[in-house]
């Protein structure tokens, strides 16, 4: 059995070129007021193959081959431009006031915990 590794790899590469694009994962670049936002993705690929053949006695012969591939595509953020300025905003990261509000529950929990400790010491 002949394994056409180059042909298979070429087909996988063509698939990645056609499907692993920010347009198919997140969407097209867009304008938000004065800001132009361009989505950015991270692509990872793993590929493996193998084959073999064996003979048992004079009449039994076997052969086999296999291949597999995996792809991971993840949105990682946006390139943002305004005039001549450019910056990168990470996906999943909050900035400014939104980040402060996300920390409020943890802060309240710490305050309550400290208050409980003080009450235990006094009692």
Q: Domain extents for the chain?
A: 5-92, 93-123
Confidence of residue 35 (pLDDT cuts 50, 70, 90): confident
Instruction: Express each pLDDT in 40-98 by its tens digit.
Output: 888 887 878 788 888 888 888 888 888 777 778 888 888 899 888 999 888 876 655 55
pTM for the whole thing?
0.48
* Cα gap 67→2, rounded to integer Å: 12
Give just the sign of the alpha carbon dihedral 81, 86, 88, 94: negative
**65 touches 86 (CB < 8 A):** no
């Amino acid at each position: 059995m002949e394994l056409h590794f180059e042909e298979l790899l070429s087909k996988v590469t063509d698939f990645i070129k056609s499907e692993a694009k920010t347009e198919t994962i997140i969407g097209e670049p867009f304008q938000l007021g004065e800001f132009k936002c361009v989505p950015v993705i991270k692509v990872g690929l793993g590929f493996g193959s193998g084959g073999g053949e064996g003979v048992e006695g004079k009449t039994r012969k076997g052969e086999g081959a296999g291949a597999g591939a995996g792809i991971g595509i993840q949105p990682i953020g946006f390139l943002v431009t305004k005039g001549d300025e450019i910056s990168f905003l990470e996906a999943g990261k909050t900035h400014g006031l939104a980040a402060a509000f996300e920390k409020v529950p943890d802060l309240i929990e710490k305050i309550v915990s400290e208050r409980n400790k003080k009450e235990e010491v006094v009692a």
